[in-house]
Chain A
Amino acid sequence: METFSDQVARITISIDSRLDQVFMVGAAVRGICSQLGLDNVSIYQMELAVVEAVNNAIKHAYGAVAGHPVEVVISVNEERLQFEICDDGETIHFLQKRTGLDFDPRNKTNLPEGGMGLHIMAQVMDDVNYFVRDGRNCLTLSKRFSKTN
């Protein structure tokens, strides 16, 4: 995992483990990425990846039960965005699962209806890491960018 030095800005957001609160995290990601000058598709994809990570924490670590914290730390330096999504729920070693989406687009009956979140994160981000620290589960997503984006 790369170190994240020369930080110039960091914000921490905490929401309750409710899917109807995830949009607030998305709005923060969108606003920050917009300020950094990313194009619209990149902004959407950053929001998408973070929302997928928060949804996973709520659904899997907390079993979709409200009343638990999900913390998102957004860090930005001159060349990199990093998102750290942490929860206190059940540890899910989901990075050990396959990230690819393997299906036949012509076979309608076997199309996946779920399990796409990790694939999206891996596609959109440069690095995806999962670790347990002091009993907390944390997923980090990082993306390099240039000011010319």
Chain B
Amino acid sequence: MRIEESRIGEVLVVKPMDRRIDASSAAAFKALLNDRIQGGQQRIVLNLSEVDFIDSTGLGAIVSSLKRMGEFGDLVISNPRETVMSLFRLTRMNRVFNILPSEEEALASLSKS
């Protein structure tokens, strides 16, 4: 799976460059995020601007990463397309994640926490 990563202060921005996070790619995506979390990353912005399809397995990988970050870590979603946003609403995960329209707003929200 193609991923772009950048570090801004203490925040890691992860930007999947593939259009799909689905059952065929979720395991690799989850392994990558878990590797960063196990490496000590406590604050992550997941920029979904390039992603136009996520299925429940892909969503499960994102949820797993949030859980793995524990009480003091946080994972914020940015730039979701309206289609992908509908998955978060269908599964009520929009009530779990902090989801913001831009990467800048996501970075700002993590700098406050």
Residues of A near any B CB (own CB < 8 A): 18-20, 22-23, 26, 40-41, 43-45, 47-48, 51-52, 55, 58-59, 101, 103, 105, 108-109, 111-114, 116-117, 119-120, 123-124
Report the minimal beta-carbon distance from B94 to chain A, rounded to whole angstroms.
9
A111 to chain B: which residues have CB within 8 Å?
63, 66-67, 96
With known contacts A44-B83, A45-B90, A109-B67, A116–B24 Cβ distance under 8 A: no
Measured CB to CB, the nearest residue on chain B to A26 is: B53
Report the minimal beta-carbon distance from B37 to chain A, rounded to whole angstroms.
13
| B side interface size, CB within 8 A | 28
For B2-19 the 0/1 string (1 means CB < 8 A from A) is 000000000000000000
Measured CB to CB, the nearest residue on chain A to B66 is: A108
CA distance A18 to B23 in the complex (A): 10
Q: Nearest 5 CB-CB pairs, A to B?
A: A44-B83, A105-B95, A116-B56, A19-B24, A113-B60
Q: List 19 A-B contacts (CB under 8 A).
A: A18-B24, A22-B23, A23-B22, A26-B53, A41-B82, A41-B86, A59-B23, A103-B92, A108-B67, A112-B60, A113-B61, A113-B63, A113-B64, A113-B67, A114-B57, A116-B91, A117-B55, A117-B56, A119-B91
Report the minimal beta-carbon distance from B84 to chain A, rounded to whole angstroms.
8
> Chain B interface secondary structure, helix, strand, loop or mixed?
helix
Could you tell me if A55 and B55 are in contact, using CB atoms closer than 8 angstroms? yes
CA distance A40 to B83 in the complex (A): 7
With known contacts A23-B24, A111-B96, A51–B67 Cβ distance under 8 A: no
Report the minimal beta-carbon distance from B90 to chain A, rounded to whole angstroms.
5
Could you tell me if B90 and A124 are in contact, using CB atoms closer than 8 angstroms? yes
Partner of B55, one of A48, A105, A119, A123: A48
CA distance A19 to B56 in the complex (A): 13
Report the minimal beta-carbon distance from A63 to chain B, rounded to whole angstroms.
14
Could you tell me if A116 and B86 are in contact, using CB atoms closer than 8 angstroms? no
8 new A-B contacts at CB < 8 Å, known A55-B57, A101-B92: A23-B24, A43-B83, A48-B87, A51-B23, A51-B55, A105-B92, A109-B67, A113-B60
Report the minimal beta-carbon distance from A103 to chain B, rounded to whole angstroms.
8
Measured CB to CB, the nearest residue on chain A to B97 is: A105
Report the minimal beta-carbon distance from A1 to chain B, rounded to whole angstroms.
24
